[in-house]
Amino acid sequence: MSQSERRYSDLFDSAPDGIFTTSIEGRFTSMNPAMEKILGWSADDLMGKFYAEWVHPEDLQRANATFLQVATGMPGEVEARIRTRSGLYQWLQMTGSPRIEDGQVVEVLVFMRDVTERRQAEQALHDSEEKFRAISNSAQNAILMMDPEGAISYWNPAAERIFGYPAESVLGKKLHEWLAPERFLEAFRKGFDHFRITGEGPAIGKTLELVAKRDGGEEFPIELSLSAIQLGERWNAVGIVRDITSRKKTEEEIHQWNTKLEQRVTERTQQLLDAQKELVSKEKLAVLGQVASSVGHELRNPLGVMNNAVYFLKTVLSGADETVREYLDMIEGEIGNADRIVSDLLDSVRTKPPFPQPMSVNALIQQSLQHCTIPEQVIVHLEIAETLPSLRVDPAQMQQVFRNLISNAVDAMPGGGRLTIDAAEAAGAIRIGVQDNGMGITQQDLAKLFQPLFTTKSRGVGLGLMVVKNLTQVNGGRVEVQSEPGKGTSFFVILPCESAAETA
């Protein structure tokens, strides 16, 4: 054996990679120890056998094509799965070269290397990419990626559907300029440089509700989950975007229904409270009715006797000194107050049907004032036009209404003040106001004014305003009140005009 042949033999036997030779027909003619170690087959197992018997069926066509190329004089390379002695297949990278003598290929020399681990890693990567692609393509939420320059580098089909842009029109474009409303761009620019360096930002690792814009500029609500990933040494952002338009609409509808429900509960609660108050009021009225029936007439008789006695004493003592006359006037006044309380008591529990007749507003107010005691320190100011239409009411009942209101106004100004009575036509009715600039009424007490036996006076019994309300209502009208503590009180009696009453 020549020196070159020995050198070749040594290299053949000591090479770390597998080496084998075949005839130009493809039968094994030699193999080195490394090949035996890789495949587990000995030289005796393979010598004279056709290589194709050990190639995976799916790789055989490529292996044959490469072998034919080498056998015809052209080097070639192929990766294929070769069956080992254990029955399993290993991925081998095989590089073949023709050995040529006298211009003819006489043998094929093949170097092989085990690339199973690399192929498995490549397959795992491929499978992972396929899984990601399948998940991304089927996801209902938009998945997008922004590179370190702020450009869109990934855009799944859901992003196309949600934002309206096909992938080819947005890839490589600045993400925020395309997807964020103009008013948010400045805030993005301020934080983006910090994110590029650190991968940190106020939105990273959080789920936020924001506003985005679609193709065409329409704004809509989104839910954004944002993460930072480092590729190489540079930071990228991955966002998952959900269109929450329907959810927001549903939340708004639920909010509106809750608001309506709360309002209805409040209204119903108020109705129940009003019903309770009305029940209490009726119970009070029932008690008042019994008291009025049994006591009213019993009080009227002695009051009449006392009033006659005072009249007699005034007649026979016409020349008495001033002190006597003053006391007689005082007694007469108190008898009048007592008689009015009895009248209110009776009227509060048995309102008589009215006997309406035409009457001018001015006449009604003048007659009411004549039966009221107005202190000198109270100035009465009338603003009643003569051209107002006539009322159609029961004069006696309505005089009692205004006597009560005028008396209350006077009582509210113990140190004097201004009593204003005005009237104006409004929508087929006359609105008569009785206004004082006295102490006023709190909002809490306003709600109770027309309840029986409620009063803010030290000497009142709480029936006067209830009588006002009842008598006004039986005459086809209503009573309104406005007041502010320290500024006075205004009562407004709205009564039908004669023409409106006749039409009705």
CB 346 within 8 A of CB 383: no
Tokens of 168: 């080819």
The residue type of 367 is: Q
Looking at every residue in the chain, the average pLDDT score rounds to 83
How much is the average pLDDT of 271-276?
Answer: 79
Contact between residue 470 and residue 351 where contact means Cβ atoms under 8 Å apart: yes
- How far apart are the C-alpha atoms of 54 and 65, rounded to whole Å? 16
Can you tell me whether residue 321 is helix, strand or coil?
coil
Q: Which residues pair with 423 in a beta bridge?
A: 432
Structure tokens at 11: 């290299």
412: helix, coil or strand?
Answer: coil
Greater model confidence, 453 or 197: 197
The answer to whether 222 touches 243, Cβ cutoff 8 Å, is yes
CA pair distance 307, 342, nearest whole angstrom: 14
For residues 139 and 298, the model is more confident at 139
* 453, 460 contact by CB (below 8 A): no
For residue 93, list its beta bridge partners: 79, 113
How large is the angle between the packed helices 395-411 and 322-349, nearest 10 degrees? 120
Rounded to whole angstroms, the Cα distance separating 117 from 202 reads: 42
Cα-Cα-Cα-Cα dihedral sign, residues 150, 152, 153, 154: positive
Instruction: Give Dmax over CA atoms of the chain in angstroms.
Output: 178
The owner of tokens 């620019």 is 189
0.85 surpassed by pTM: no
pLDDT in tens, 34-87: 888 888 888 888 899 999 999 999 999 999 999 999 999 999 999 999 999 999
Sheet holding 219-231, edge to edge: 152-155, 142-146, 234-243, 219-231, 207-213
- State mean pLDDT over 346-356: 70
Q: Name the percent of the chain lying above pLDDT 90.
A: 20
pLDDT confidence of 197, banded at 50, 70, 90? confident
> Residue 115's closest CA among 38, 20, 62, 19?
38
